[in-house]
A and B are shown apart, each in its own frame.
Chain A
């Protein structure tokens, strides 16, 4: 009996271990391993070959294993202004997009959270409805709206508001509209989840203690929805930094973004090492953001 039980206990522990191991295996196979490959390529030297880089490890004739790290890929980023500018521009676009998305998404999430139960479900459905169409198609739809002879210009012309078409496409404005439009659901949903849990009696209590509605919002609702704001910001900021499709289609050739440089290096120049180095640097910038966010979140849940 004793032996049986011990054996059972052992299998239970190992089955629990298996459950824990699965996500780790997944992460190792699909995140850590590709990351290491990219890291390796970022230190390689470009070559006209297949694959288009030289190996890091080389057996020389005297049976010595040589490791050749090419730091030039990283140095290139500092020596050419193009990279630095693109990088700063990416951060700027991501930052402003985050601000705009929050400014539009917060009132929407607030409205949905305060709506009646039936209206709420309908509104949430409307928020996720765009996901049923490919993002690429939706961005192309914006191209159709913004074109010189697009819907917006035609409408304004026929109304007599303007007399010649406005340049909308390939402007920063079009790009921001595209980014904010695409990421709005990612702002609304976490904010809604957060605001929906908010105890509205707290807002009433604040009003009871002398707050006007906007003061109650500023002193109670806003601080208590901080986690939702952080989550929403990260969900916009991180992907927007590396955004490629929207700046290309709506921002035009002047929209210098890291994602585009990466694409150009990889597919245009076939310079995989530099492209990899760019990817690594972007990761190095965004990982601390993620860490800070997770840190704040776990501290909150501890309380």
Chain B
């Protein structure tokens, strides 16, 4: 699920305390009347990153994007781009361009005029405009469509015109609001990789807003998961997926089984959690920092649980249950297993062999997992 691409060759500037952030939000808050859309967000984005703000609708991600574009002014806090404070700079003076969710292409202009619009506005010489527009249109494979009216284009073509129009101005930062939201699934997958390729070629920093976790996982160098106006966790797709810092993140990205429990053994290298929901203890192969009596949760991804008919060799991190539901998805199957405690556990298994013996509904199975698999979250 996590795409490994070449764009991370530059290293991980977010782990380097000396790296200079390219875009920086300092304690930014935005209120609309009584409603706080963005609540004290601080964030650093580095050059050539694709940073994805991921969250459900209404979590404040679009407001954050609009503040970077200059369409909203923060109630509090500062916004810096390339070291320059742009908090009060209007959109037309910002070194930033935006690709709108609806694409916002000008219906009274053709493709070429749409792409040239921003350059004309900047009084770029005519010959240069012509050349840059042509190059850009070729890059998004729309060279033949230069004279078409916007209304005559398909959804995917419109998306590429919008992208070309925003990129042709060579912005320092490109803001993309649900860039692939209006495309169908096949085209979306294809376009994701095109977008990464283009970003890599042009070296522009991208800030993407999306509610689609798959899109965020594919595109992002880092993801910021947003909930109710705050960034709950920011990190690489793998970090977010493997080490969620809260129930919310664990549940929002992918699917997860959460076992509520209490700490019964706390050592630097491993902890043991007694979970009434599981009906046993869970051994976790990493230390945590938590108050001894606090309630916490062990988060276990469905694909990290092994399922077998016979009893596994291990004695801990095992549970027995009855298969209650099976969903065959082609590449993998999802099993819902009911434990004696009544807890339902989700397990996925890849369908590697075509004629593998299926696990049927109502059959009794053992679930087991490695001590390295569960992650403990305290909130």
Contacts and interface: CB of A to CB of B under 8 A. Distances in A.
Interface of A: 199, 201-202, 204-212, 215, 219-220, 223-224, 303
A208 B91 contact: yes
A207 B151 contact: no
B350 to A, nearest CB: 43
Contact of A209 (B90, B108, B149, B169): B169
B104 A202 contact: yes
B64 to A, nearest CB: 16
A224 B107 contact: yes
B121 interface: yes
B98 interface: yes
B22 interface: no
B16 to A, nearest CB: 32
A114 to B, nearest CB: 15
Contacts of A202: 104, 106-107
Interface residues of B, number: 25
Interface in B76-130: 90-92, 96-98, 100, 102, 104-108, 117-118, 121-122
B121 to A, nearest CB: 4
Nearest to A210: B121
Given A205-B105, A220-B106, 17 more contacts: A199-B102, A202-B104, A204-B91, A204-B100, A206-B117, A207-B71, A208-B71, A208-B92, A208-B166, A209-B117, A209-B169, A210-B118, A211-B92, A215-B121, A224-B107, A224-B108, A303-B149
Interface in B225-260: none
Contacts of A211: 92, 121
A199 B104 contact: yes
B167 to A, nearest CB: 12
B374 interface: no
B100 A209 contact: no
A202 B150 CA distance: 13
A208 B97 contact: yes
B69 interface: yes
B102 A209 contact: no
A201 B100 CA distance: 8
Contact of B165 (A199, A209, A212): A209
Contacts of A215: 121
A206 B98 CA distance: 10
A96 to B, nearest CB: 28
Interface string B126-163: 00000000000000000000000101000000000000
A201 B118 contact: no
Contacts of B166: 208
16 contacts: A199-B104, A201-B104, A204-B100, A205-B100, A207-B70, A208-B92, A208-B96, A208-B98, A209-B117, A209-B121, A209-B165, A210-B121, A210-B122, A210-B169, A212-B92, A303-B151
Nearest to B169: A209
A199 B106 CA distance: 10
A204 B151 CA distance: 20
Nearest to B71: A204
A210 B100 contact: no
A223 B96 CA distance: 26
Contacts of A207: 70-71, 90-92
B187 to A, nearest CB: 22
- Top 5 nearest A-B pairs by Cβ distance? A209-B118, A210-B121, A205-B104, A201-B104, A207-B91
Contacts of B107: 202, 224
A224 B151 CA distance: 14
Nearest to A223: B108
A230 to B, nearest CB: 14
Nearest to B116: A209
